[in-house]
Structure 1
Amino acid sequence: MSEDKNRSGGRPDPALVQRTRKQQETLGAGLRHMFDSVVDEGVPDAFADLLDRLEQSESDRTTEKGDGHE
């Protein structure tokens, strides 16, 4: 009863393995292409400005804390 009835002798169908492998390769290539295109887009100016302001704010807070405790 513990035997899996969907397997024939414990070996997968070679045609199924080949199709699955090809599908994985196709999916992997598509994901790499999509990732690369997102990386190449760059950061929008508004987002870069926001990051700069956040960094400046954090720097100002660190400086204020340092001056108050010395």
Structure 2
Amino acid sequence: MARVEAVIFAANEPVTRSVLARVVGKNCNIELIIDDIRAELAGRPYELVAVAGGWQHRTKKVFGD
């Protein structure tokens, strides 16, 4: 899970499922990993969002102004 989060955090564009599959293996459940990361980020000022066919870290709207 930490490797997936690190790859998404370091990327300058949304990270696709195929990229994440290369990181964790094709047999891993990417959706479950993403859900776990989202749950861990619940109390933080940023979130993991699906955008443009991939995932990206974003500042939560409440902190955007």
Tell me which interval the TM-score lies in, with the shorter structure as reference length.
under 0.3
More strand by share: 2
Pick the structure with more helix per residue.
Answer: 1
Calculate the TM-score normalised by the size of structure 1.
0.24
Structure number with the bigger relative contact order (C-alpha 8 A, sep ≥ 6) is 2
